[in-house]
Homo-oligomer: A and B are copies of this chain.
Amino acid sequence: MTPSDVLPFRRSATSPAANAAHAGGTGIVMMNLGGPKTLDDVEPFLLRLFADREIIQLPFQDWLGKFIATRRAPKVRKLYDAIGGGSPILKWTEAQGEAMCRRLDEMSPATAPHKFYVAFRYTNPFADDALRAMKADGITRAVAFTQYPQWSCSTTGSSLNDLWRAAARTGLEDAFEWSIIDRWGEHPGFVSSMASAVEDGLDEFAADERDDVLVMFSAHSLPLSVIDRGDAYPAEVSATVSRVVQTIGLRNPYMVTYQSEVGPVRWLGPSTETVIEQLAQRGQKNVLVVPIAFTSDHIETLSELDIEYAELAHKLGMPGFKRAPALNARPEFLDALADIVHEHLQAGAPHSTQYRQRCPGCLNAACRSVPSRLAAACAPGAEDVQAMAETVGAR
């Protein structure tokens, strides 16, 4: 099965103007990991996560993935119990989507109405649900909008591949003209909303302690095997950090760390948890952890950072361990989401330039398969873009 077998997308009209008025408006598919909404959703969530070969490769995956998921479920269930009985990620995504679409309708009447559809990777609503809902709403122009600011094949890559598979599963390959917002880690609006979240975090420290605060930008780690394949993630995370630091004019020392490593393989370091231990042992009193690669609260912020690592820090004698707030429904971030989509629609490019760059060590034939039938662009330079899309699709 070649990529084009699983990705048959409707070819857009060749006239650049054809896209300007889609009767049904614009559907924006907000893709994310998702999280179990209730405690009973925990085990199914883990089963799907450990079955995803695009994020985890295990020997005898069908069997071993199931074994690990089932074994971890009770422990993870307890973690969700401690943060209120489920993940708030759907609630936040919906709040973000509603605010974003309201703003877009004002900013861009030509592409209105704008409707958002949540597509989680490991829990409902799934990509299949999003596609069926879009079809029912009469949408013909769709934007696949990753909610992970920085690219990784483990996150956005897996979600996109799943989206294209869902289109095949639901028989909706020809229903939509697509374009992709595949990364936005250096978008000025995202950067400045992240910068103000960091400033809010710093403000939580007493004035006479603030200069002593070490700012730890913490992102979810990846196995080194993913890094070695050429995944863009660590470079993009560091680029976001650099922009945020510059925007703040940060005078505190800072570093980039990676959290949530599991299992026996080696992950990208330095490890957030280990660094907290080392800093505490060295007598560092004040640390502000900033979740830099996720925009909503979820288990890694509410449980891992706020409970697990905070307890560790306090136990080791670090009284000033705090976390910067997640972006959630921060108005500046809602503006940023709308700006990102608006700029994308105006620019008319089918995806970022970087999307063309499949990992050199990638062995997954479906990865970076650019649908050959992407939305015709309606912006100046649209023919170049279309030509580029065709060139890329032909590769």
Contacts and interface: CB of A to CB of B under 8 A. Distances in A.
Interface of A: 186, 214, 224, 227-230, 232, 234-239, 241-243, 246, 250-257, 266, 268-271, 274-275, 278-279, 282, 353-354, 356-357, 360-361
A354 B253 contact: yes
Contacts of A255: 230, 232, 235, 357, 360
Contact of A242 (B186, B256, B282): B186
Contacts of A353: 250-253
A48 B259 CA distance: 37
B235 A270 contact: no
A56 to B, nearest CB: 19
B242 A238 contact: yes
**What copy number does this chain have within its complex?**
2
Contacts of A224: 224, 266, 269
26 contacts: A186-B242, A186-B246, A224-B224, A224-B269, A227-B268, A227-B269, A228-B270, A228-B271, A229-B270, A230-B257, A230-B275, A232-B255, A234-B234, A235-B238, A235-B242, A237-B238, A238-B242, A239-B239, A239-B241, A242-B243, A251-B353, A252-B353, A274-B360, A275-B361, A278-B361, A279-B360
A378 to B, nearest CB: 20
Contact of A357 (B235, B253, B354, B357): B253
A316 to B, nearest CB: 12
Contacts of A235: 238, 241-242, 255-256
Given A227-B269, A252-B353, A270-B360, 6 more contacts: A224-B266, A235-B242, A238-B239, A274-B360, A278-B361, A279-B360
A230 to B, nearest CB: 4
Closest 9 CB pairs of A and B: A238-B238, A253-B357, A239-B242, A228-B269, A278-B360, A235-B238, A230-B270, A235-B256, A275-B360
